[in-house]
Chains A and B, each alone.
Chain A
Amino acid sequence: MKQMLTVANKEFYDGLRNRWLVSITLIFALLSVGLTYFGAAASGAVGVTSLSTTVASLASLAVFLIPLIALLLSYDSFVGEQESGTLLLLLTYPLSKSQLLLGKFIGQGGIIALATFLGFGASALLLYFQLGDTDIFSAFGLFIISAILLGLSFTAISYIISLSVSEKSKAAGFALITWFLFSLAFDLALLALLVGVEDGVTQQGLTQLMMLNPTDIFRLVNLSGLDSSDVNGALAVAINASLSQFQLFSALVAWVVLPLSIAIFIFKKKKL
């Protein structure tokens, strides 16, 4: 346990040292504050708009950014150490493979979680001062927790990538493809399925398909609670067949635990 925390501590401080925490926090804070203020600019007004519009825009922003950032932060965490030879060395220490992996996960996950909390928390505070509505905190609380889970899920996925390849540059390539598949291609494919194939999928089936993608679960969590007037496309259909928030969160947690377990499994099988 102590060893695991030592690794976590080191990874966390690496994140601080490399300015990852500061940059991610700033990106989230600037974008979310910007969206909060100028989200209604398209309709000709500047200033804080409704809570639901803000959360909806933030969610659609976060759904692209968070997976990308998580993948960037962690894609080289194993293959990088393998290339520099420290991975082999670490494994000769009294430290099991799962301890090493979980230690890294706690450290890097901590960076993502803290940055998400601070960055988006800033705009929650701003909204609160403008609107004075305590509903903001429950809405943002939900948003931030699901955003953190989304980040952790992609951190775990990037470990799978990092453990499966033997070169850093390959890991970067796979990370990019993974991001593209989950953030863009999957939804396009779903849309094509909905539009192109008549009666191809039921509402129920669509929602189930969406469980296969953590970014869609994240969208469902954040948009199903809002007025659906702000939501359209495939998502609106799915929301009507809504699952409970609890189910959605469980699915997100599963998307953290499952890739993490797979990563540990791959690590144990890995030749060194």
Chain B
Amino acid sequence: MNTPLVSLVEAGKTYGQLDVLSSMTMSLNEGEVLGLFGHNGAGKTTMMKLILGVISPSKGRVTVMGMAPDSKEAWHCRSKVGYLPENVSFYEQLTGLEVLTYFVKLKGFSNKDCKRKAIDLLEQVGITYAMKRQVKTYSKGMRQRLGLAQAFIGEPKLLLLDEPTVGLDPIATRDFYKTVDQLKSNGSSVILCSHVLPGVEQHIDRAMILSSGKLLAMGTLSELRAQAALPVVIKPISFKKGGLNDAVAQDAKLKHFVSGSCQNTLMVPEQEKLAVLKQLLSLEELDDVHVESANLEQVYQHFLEKYERNFQQKIQGGQYS
């Protein structure tokens, strides 16, 4: 096991009385993609800033590539880190190419390579056609692509992307995830920070769910699903006259799983899924079956709701005691 690329040990950040991030412990290995989910103000951006070394932790320790990112020694590591901020509007009066060339130069590339490198990156994100235009004429999606090109400068070993797909059309989103997969297979680690996005699931190895500066859950998607113990939704479908209702409702094994709100739906715990499916398949009336595991969004909502319930209880408990 090699040392993790990024590790946080009980790291926290407070601004005055406000706990923006309370003791967070996590690590990120090489070639791993971590999804960071949470509401606005959950502490996602603060965590990214800690990892970037733009701010120093109030307590605990942050290590990136074996060094504290806010220290002087970590200086040369910065050219190996790419960052896409959440809201960035680049220098409006410059052209896209000029903006990117500036950033390539700042990353420490020699002057003569800069322009070519910038053009390559613009090609990668697909806005070469607009590179001679001023940024102020760019659409939201084009700006986002420019931001991504900026984050990809110098094949970073660590990428931190804050809401990377906001404003991207579906094709650009697909291209973006393709790039993420590519970077990952080259050994780069990525932290994707986001409200829950549809489509992000296949591309992340692990997810972290944050709320008001606290870690609610962390793990691979299947681990999180197991923790949340959300049922699998199974919809048996029959085109025959009379349908399935009675068959399912009368079946001794199946009738416990019928959803209270919808007669045609079975809510089945993950471990019972196969048994239920087998039983269903034995029914003659069955024509088709629709199986849906809990998706990331549901898992996310589950953890948030659980957290809020606990929080409410705590408040009420405090009032009565």
A interface residues (Cβ-Cβ under 8 A, vs B): 2-3, 6-7, 10, 14, 17-18, 84-86, 88-96, 271-272
B54 located at the interface, meaning its Cβ lies under 8 Å from any Cβ of chain A in the complex: yes
What sequence of 0s and 1s flags, for each residue 70-101 of chain B, a beta carbon within 8 Å of any chain A beta carbon? 00000110110101011111110100000000
Across-interface contacts of A92 in B (CB, < 8 A): 52-54, 78, 81, 83
Of B3-11, B103-111, B123-131, B302-310, the one contacting chain A is B103-111
The secondary structure that dominates the A interface is: helix
Interface pair B78/A272, CB less than 8 Å apart:
no
Query: Given that A18-B93, A91-B54 are contacting pairs, would A3 and B108 also be in contact in the complex, using a CB cutoff of 8 Å?
Result: yes
In Å, the complex CA distance between A20 and B8 comes to: 47
- Contacts known (A3-B106, A94-B107); A89 close to B83, Cβ less than 8 A: yes
Question: Is B55 part of the binding interface, using a Cβ–Cβ cutoff of 8 Å?
Answer: yes
User: Could you say which of A17, A86, A93 contacts B88, with CB atoms under 8 Å apart?
Assistant: A86
Q: Once bound together, how far apart are the Cα atoms of A84 and B92, in whole Å?
A: 10
**B273 contacts the other chain (CB 8 A):** no
| B117 CB within 8 Å of chain A | no
**A138 vs B150: C-alpha distance when bound (angstroms):** 50
B90 partner, pick from A7, A14, A84, A272, beta carbons under 8 A: A84
Most-contacted residue by chain A among B15, B49, B89, B105 (CB, 10 A): B105
26 contacts between A and B (CB under 8 A): A7-B106, A14-B93, A18-B93, A84-B89, A84-B90, A85-B88, A86-B89, A86-B90, A88-B85, A89-B85, A91-B54, A92-B53, A92-B81, A92-B83, A93-B78, A93-B103, A93-B106, A93-B107, A94-B78, A94-B79, A94-B108, A96-B75, A271-B15, A271-B55, A272-B49, A272-B55
Q: Which residues of chain B from 38 to 83 have a CB within 8 Å of any chain A CB?
A: 49, 52-55, 75-76, 78-79, 81, 83
* Cβ–Cβ < 8 Å partners of B106 in chain A: 3, 6-7, 90, 93-95
Known contacts A84-B88, A93-B78, A94-B76; A6/B102 CB under 8 A: yes
Chain B 243-270 interface residues, beta-carbon cutoff 8 Å to A: none
Closest to B88 in A: A85
- Least CB distance from A157 to B in Å reads 24
Smallest CB separation, A15 vs chain B (Å): 11
**Cβ-closest chain A residue relative to B92:** A84
Q: Which of chain A's residues has its CB closest to B53's CB?
A: A92
Residue of B with least CB distance to A99: B106
Per the bound structure, the CA–CA distance linking A89 and B88 in Å amounts to: 8
Q: Across the interface, name the chain A residue whose C-beta is closest to B48.
A: A92
Q: Which 6 A-B pairs have the closest CB atoms?
A: A85-B88, A94-B78, A6-B105, A92-B83, A84-B89, A93-B106
B5: shortest Cβ distance to chain A, in Å?
16
- Report the nearest B residue to A6, measured CB to CB: B105
Interface contact A10-B102, CB-CB below 8 Å: yes
Closest B residue to A84 using CB positions: B89
Taking the closest CB of chain B, its distance from the CB of A45, in whole angstroms, is: 46
Which residues of B are found within 8 Å of A17, using beta-carbon distances? 93
Chain B residue contacts of A93, Cβ below 8 A: 78-79, 103, 106-107
Tell me which of B75, B83, B91 contacts A94 (CB under 8 A).
B75
B105: A residues at CB distance < 8 A: 3, 6
Query: Using Cβ atoms and an 8 Å threshold, which residues of chain B touch A18?
Result: 93
C-alpha gap A90/B102 in the complex (Å) = 11
Task: Please give me the residue from chain B that is nearest to A7 by CB atom.
Answer: B106
In the complex, the answer to whether B76 meets A272 with C-beta atoms within 8 Å is no
In the bound assembly, the distance between CA atoms of A222 and B52 in angstroms comes to 50
Instruction: For residue B65, give the distance in angstroms from its CB to the closest CB of chain A.
Output: 13
Q: Once bound together, how far apart are the Cα atoms of A157 and B90, in whole Å?
A: 26
Report the separation of the CA atoms of residues A7 and B83 in the bound assembly, to the nearest whole angstrom: 19
Can you add 11 more A-B contacts, CB < 8 Å, to A3-B108, A85-B86, A85-B89?
A3-B105, A7-B106, A86-B88, A89-B83, A89-B150, A93-B78, A93-B103, A93-B107, A94-B76, A94-B108, A272-B49
In the complex, chain A residues whose CB is within 8 Å of the CB of B55: 271-272
User: Given the complex, which residues of A lie within 8 Å of B75, measured CB to CB?
Assistant: 94, 96
A183 nearest CB across to chain B (Å): 30
A88, B85: Cα distance in complex, Å? 8
Bound: A133/B120 CA distance, A: 59
B157 CB to closest chain A CB (Å) equals 14
Asked if residues B54 and A88 are in contact (CB atoms below 8 Å), the reply is yes
